[in-house]
A and B are shown apart, each in its own frame.
Chain A
Amino acid sequence: MGGFLAPTFLDSEMSDFIPQLCDHVRRSAEAKTRLRIRGGSTKDFYGGAPTGVAVEMGAYAGIIAYEPRELVLTVKAGTRLSEVEAALAAERQMLAFEPPHFGEGATIGGTVAAGFSGPRRPYAGSARDFVLGARIVNGKGEDLSFGGRVIKNVAGYDVSRLMTGALGTLGILTELSFKVLPRPAAHVTLAFQLEAPQAVEQANLWAGQPLPLSAAAWQEGVLRVRLSGAESAVKAATARLGGDAMRDGDAFWKDLREHRLPFFRAGLPLWRLSLPQAAAPIPTPHAQLIDWGGGQRWVSGELDAVALRASVAAAGGHATLFRGGDKSQGVFHPLQPALAKIHKRLKEAFDPAGILNHGRLYDF
């Protein structure tokens, strides 16, 4: 990592962090020096390889405002995700999109930039859904705030949600506000012996009924379903669904979320297929692990990107080379030309010098 960062920038008083960051970005833009925005470096594997001079965000950390009764949390982007979750847990609340960490150092900024959501996503919503506001520094070194700290807000275009999943290519996230939710009082995981097509169908049938579903995943002939909610709700639903209650259910969902199940540890390229939840199975030569009640399917192994993407697109979805593999075939599903045009214009507007996280998302 080059020595471009002035030491004063790193050692500075935190209250000066954002003005100094603006200054730094401005100078980098003038010099056309590419910047690599670094939280905890837990997601460097994802997207195009990070290049450029590191901008360390880990130092800009801490909770700015948290009023449990408001259901709103505002936090500096460099705050560790684990710290955010602990603060929420102390008030029996949570980030309902159940984000994966992929490492101890994960920051909240990196979590939003990657836009990842965990097993609860189909039933509670995605990272994007819970972002209420974002303060960013764009590629021109401007300090900008969008959205807000209230739950309901339609003033101005929804730029804070545009930032979610943009992998830092449009701006450096500095502060974020979220809607948070109460933690369910009870949960249970039930297991059912089913083959993949039946499991997907069953998960969708249940999702269409008033059940407190909070996760549904299938692997190797077993559909696991998590129920979360009030004690009475979980009890009644358990009685209705049957199945075998799993003693290590919590560990299973955590290991699934963090990709620590043996399935993910083969060291092979990992493909993520995002599909309509009820889509029929997409045949692949390698085993699949199905999450999100059918909406997110993982395949581990070498696959032909073009053929895979064609079959996934035909089913209404898209495929991402999530981890490893030959990235020259494109990590992300290619964009339709009309959308690529808008992507390029947004990038040029927010980061005209093209210095922010170059190449992480697409070729810009």
Chain B
Amino acid sequence: MNHELARTLEAIQPPPVVMVDEERLRPFETDAFVSHRQVPMMAVLPDRESQVGEIVSACAARGVPVVTRGAGTGISGGAIPHAEGVLLVVTRMRALLALDPLGRTATVEPGMRNLVVSEIAAPHGLFYAPDPSSQLVCSIGGNVAENAGGVHCLKYGFTLHNILAVVAYDGEGERLELGSLALDAPGYDLMALITGSEGNLGVVTQVVVRLLPRPAATETLLAAFGSVREAAEAVGEILGAGLIPAALEMMDRVVIEACERYMNLGFPKDAEALLLAEVDGGVEETRDALALVRSILERCGATEVRVARDDAERAELWRSRKGAFTALATVRPDYYTIDGTIPRRMLPHVLDQVYSLAKAEGLLVGNVFHAGDGNIHPCIFYDASVPGELERGEALGGRILELCIDVGGTITGEHGVGIEKLRQMCKQFRPAEIAAFHDVKRAFDPASILNPGKAVPTLNRCSEWGGMHIRDGRVPRADIPRF
């Protein structure tokens, strides 16, 4: 059957690359959720859309699971292969299909890297707004599948807000055109539904993105605070003042110290939090916004405010934020990034809780995150070579996610559920809601061949988990669905 499918896929005209040898499949065994691994039965790398339709149809006819993979930068395990499935790798499909500078749209294949879209748009004074930190590598298809955000999404929105249409193949191999080149489409908003569906509702083969005019001016400030509470207060004050900055990012003491050691930024020794704010727009409004943000930061108790005078200084200020993860890697060999969202006013409370939970577990946590939209990214440090540390880190992560739910937030702001947060889905949603998600899945993929077992837990699994207390420890590895 395995070989029969491989032959069928190889017979597609023109043929895609088909891999069945273990050593060639090995590089695909994980994504950026590196603690889990699985070699697929087979990988197939199409270079055009017509092949995708035939691949999905062939798999559908045989009931073989299809896991789509973009650049593999997902951090919740969404692209981890299925042992009996085909891994559909779309990175060779990366062409620009159309560019309309006047209408401000580009039609691209899913394997195009995020940053390339902005590079293509740049000669026209345009850019593609969603800018995940992984933008150099991650693919547009993966961005659609995760509804990816970025450091500038407070003002510019997520992937959903910046796309007009996608072409996708459903679980029966049928081609769907969702959305349109216009600002809306007839019927149900299936484009919104497929965005963020983690490869469960369709294989995305084309994306029409909206391009925005590049702002005429940008101002960047970095402020140091003596407490997280004051920094959080400044965030609320800025947003309450009627200003939506392009970015509002926060770093806590653990991150500041790591950055200080690693890059020597010379911040006050007693800084407990750094706030990075960026405002952009027209020249005059940006100048006014800068003055306003600066005065709010000072009024809220900033002990130091730095303003970038030029692009080089701007890059320098961003260095602490963008280099934070690299700097953190020097703290401990491994770390695990959490991705909850909370109501912003709960920030000081939640961070306090995060620190005490970590302390109880004997682990170190650093926080570098999108403060403007309340999307926290606690980084839990561990050493995988120390027995039990990974497990303790994962358990701590689970508790932090539950804390996010308890304060009225959500278990994932931008990284997706994948396999990582299946268990917390059972806490965030009630059985009838989980059942509705399965209904949605069935509408697109009745035989459940697209990324089965990811993103939405089965109700059985929820009831098994429901009987256990999360605080009793991590789910044994054997209990996690094997893909």
Contact = CB atoms under 8 A, between A and B. Distances in A.
A binds B: yes
A151 B373 contact: yes
Contacts of B441: 157
Contacts of B124: 208
Interface in A150-175: 150-159, 161-162, 164-166, 170
Contact of A236 (B196, B283, B437, B455): B283
Contact of B187 (A121, A209, A233, A362): A362
B149 A129 contact: no
A162 B244 CA distance: 27
A100 interface: no
Contact of A153 (B215, B237, B244, B412): B412
A87 B195 CA distance: 32
A70 B177 contact: no
B281 A162 contact: no
Nearest to B432: A142
Interface stretch (B18-26, B157-165, B251-259, B309-317): B157-165
Interface string A178-194: 00011101000000000
Given A153-B341, A153-B410, A205-B102, A161 B175 contact: no
B197 A345 contact: no
A31 interface: no
Contact of A211 (B188, B243, B282): B282
A9 B178 CA distance: 40
A146 interface: yes
Q: Which residue of B147, B180, B192, B417 has the most chain A CB atoms within 10 A of its CB atom?
A: B192
Contacts of B442: 345, 349
B240 A151 contact: no
Given A157-B196, A165-B189, A181-B244, A338 B170 contact: yes
A111 B163 CA distance: 23
B183 A156 contact: no
Contacts of B425: 155-156
A210 interface: yes
Contact of B102 (A204, A318, A339): A204
A92 interface: yes
Interface string B424-467: 01001110110011011111101000000001100000000000
Nearest to B181: A316
Contact of B240 (A68, A229, A235, A292): A68
B161 A129 contact: yes
Contact of B188 (A72, A138, A346): A346
A125 to B, nearest CB: 6
A336 interface: yes
A128 interface: yes
Contacts of A205: 102
A350 interface: yes
Chain A's interface size range is 35 or more
Nearest to B401: A155
Given A278-B102, A339-B190, A230 B289 contact: yes
A286 interface: no
A125 B161 CA distance: 7
Contact of B182 (A72, A208, A275): A275
Contacts of A334: 186
Q: Which residue of A152, A336, A362 has the most chain B CB atoms within 10 A of its CB atom?
A: A152
Interface stretch (B219-227, B342-350, B355-363): B342-350
Nearest to A313: B180
B183 A122 contact: yes
A121 B189 contact: no
Contacts of B183: 121-122, 126, 274, 277, 292, 295-296
A145 interface: yes
B216 A210 contact: yes
A125 B157 contact: yes
A69 interface: yes
B409 interface: yes
Interface in B401-426: 408-417, 421, 425
A317 B182 contact: yes
A152 B374 contact: yes
A122 B104 CA distance: 11
A262 B428 CA distance: 50
Contact of A232 (B190, B243, B285, B412): B285
Contacts of B101: 208
A182 B101 CA distance: 30
Interface in B351-378: 370, 373-375
A342 interface: yes
A342 B242 contact: no
Given A70-B344, A161-B193, A276-B103, A155 B410 contact: yes
B437 to A, nearest CB: 5
Nearest to A229: B285
Contacts of B161: 125, 129
A201 interface: yes
A343 interface: yes
Contacts of B409: 148, 150
A335 B239 CA distance: 42
B268 interface: no
A155 B186 contact: no
Interface in B74-122: 100-105
B317 to A, nearest CB: 22
Contact of A212 (B182, B282, B289): B282
A277 B164 CA distance: 12
A292 B161 CA distance: 16
Interface in A285-335: 292, 295-296, 316-318, 320, 332-335
A129 to B, nearest CB: 5
B281 A349 contact: no
B182 A343 contact: no
Contacts of B102: 201, 204-205, 208, 278
B284 interface: yes
B184 interface: yes
B39 interface: no
Q: Which residue of B103, B174, B375, B412 has the most chain A CB atoms within 10 A of its CB atom?
A: B103
Interface string A248-278: 0000000000000000000000000011111
13 contacts: A67-B345, A142-B432, A143-B432, A150-B409, A154-B196, A182-B243, A201-B102, A209-B213, A210-B281, A274-B185, A339-B178, A339-B187, A349-B439
Among all A-B residue pairs, the 9 with the closest Cβ atoms: A233-B285, A349-B439, A278-B103, A316-B181, A182-B242, A232-B284, A345-B443, A152-B413, A161-B192
Interface of A: 67-72, 92, 115, 121-122, 125-126, 128-129, 138, 142-146, 148-159, 161-162, 164-166, 170, 181-183, 185, 201, 204-205, 207-212, 229-233, 235-237, 274-279, 292, 295-296, 316-318, 320, 332-336, 338-339, 341-343, 345-346, 349-350, 361-362
Given A162-B192, A317-B182, 15 more contacts: A144-B430, A150-B342, A151-B341, A152-B374, A152-B410, A155-B410, A155-B428, A158-B192, A158-B195, A162-B440, A229-B281, A274-B182, A318-B180, A334-B186, A339-B187
Interface of B: 100-105, 124-126, 146-147, 149, 153-154, 157-158, 160-161, 170, 174-178, 180-190, 192-193, 195-197, 200-201, 213-216, 236-237, 239-240, 242-244, 281-285, 287-289, 341-345, 370, 373-375, 408-417, 421, 425, 428-430, 432-433, 436-437, 439-444, 446, 455-456
